[in-house]
Amino acid sequence: MADKFFTQLFGAFLMFFVLQPFVIKSLEFESVQNPEGAQKGDVVNGLNQIKKYLHSYGYYHHDTEDTFDDRFDDSLESALKAYKDYLGIDVTGKIDSDTIKGVLTPRCGVPDHLVSNYSFPGGKYKWTNRSLS
């Protein structure tokens, strides 16, 4: 009886620690002023958190850490359009209530879009040998 209890307890702890990195709660908006209506060129306190959220799911692409600022830039506008398209809501480059609702919805931590950092050199990509052995 004790073995079954400890096996279940161990399994619960294992599942918690294995799945924990993939579980992300909704974005915390404690230090964010209301971003609704924000558009390119605006500076809104807390936009850096929205950029980090969109980056974690593969939408916001940046070159340096300096781009996680509170300025609404071209990259954020592009990321918002892709995110809104994924959610199936009206695609605009602005933050609206539907966007905020999507960001606040708890979800897993797996990116929607995987970003690859490789490219193929020029050339033909066909198998030369067609017989399998």
Tokens 């974690």 locate to: 56
pLDDT, mean of residues 86-111: 86
Is the pTM here over 0.95, yes or no? no
Q: Cα separations (Å) of 111 from 41, 43, 53, 78, 107? A: 27, 26, 10, 17, 10
Q: Is the pLDDT assigned to residue 52 strictly greater than 80?
A: yes
Q: Are 105 and 25 in contact (CB under 8 A)?
A: no
Q: Domain spans of the chain?
A: 36-107
Lowest-pLDDT choice from 54-58, 71-75, 123-127: 123-127
pLDDT at 38 over 80: yes
Cα distance between residue 98 and residue 37, in whole Å: 11
More confident site: 70 or 29: 70
* Dist. CA 33–CA 100, nearest whole Å: 12
Mean pLDDT of 57-85: 85
Residue 24 confidence (pLDDT) above 70: no
Task: Specify whether domain 36-107 bears CATH 2.102.10.10.
Answer: no
Q: What is the DSSP string of 15-48?
A: HHHHHGGGEE-PPP-TT----TT--TT-B-TTHH
Gap between the Cα atoms of 113 and 133, Å rounded: 36
Give me the pLDDT at residue 25, please. 46
Q: Which residue has the higher pLDDT, 108 or 86?
A: 86
Residue 95: closest CA among 108, 109, 81: 81
